[in-house]
Structure 1
Amino acid sequence: MRELKHINNKFILEPVTDDLLKDVLNIYETNEEYFKISMNGKPSIDSIIEDKNAMPPGLNFNNKKYKLISINGQYIGIIDYIMNYPDEDTVYIGLFIIH
């Protein structure tokens, strides 16, 4: 795992880059029941990339956020959200997984 800058007991949201995909997969794999229901199987790097890039049609990709959640330097979750969707004053949370 890559070393993170952190502030004690503060949650940090970090954009998911290609070098962090395995860290995301580790978190996905701790939520086996969710993926049995939602995907009928096990998550993979390909399914992470699909989640990271999934967007409703016609929206600005700059509003899409797919981030690792860390606390005290440890990755503990994933959040995927879209700002200003479905309307200007709303944040749509598409995925929220905690290890």
Structure 2
Amino acid sequence: MAWIRKSAGGGGKSPGRGAGADEEEKVPRGHVPMVAGGEGDGERVLVPVRLLSDPSIAELLDMAARRYGYGQPGVLRVPCEAGHFRRVVDGAMQRCGISLA
């Protein structure tokens, strides 16, 4: 799983920076792009859809819904520190038997 630093400024080709068709094509089938971290910066990760039912991931999604609502434009932002998000996703992947490679 690749973690990508997302910056608020221009420069670079970080997937998921906008909602354009080119960037949507970069998301592999069966994955949901999410960003965790600060309001301007964050880390982007492609989360396998099968992890969305994991209780830890579901709690993060509930937090996102309470904070940002259900109409978030673009990539789904999760309101937690990027390191915590990484640990939650990695733990959910282990519980579901998904390789961390």
Q: TM-score, normalised by structure 1?
A: 0.27
Instruction: Please say which structure displays the higher CA radius of gyration.
Output: 1
Q: Which has the higher helix share?
A: 2
Q: TM-score, normalised by structure 2?
A: 0.27
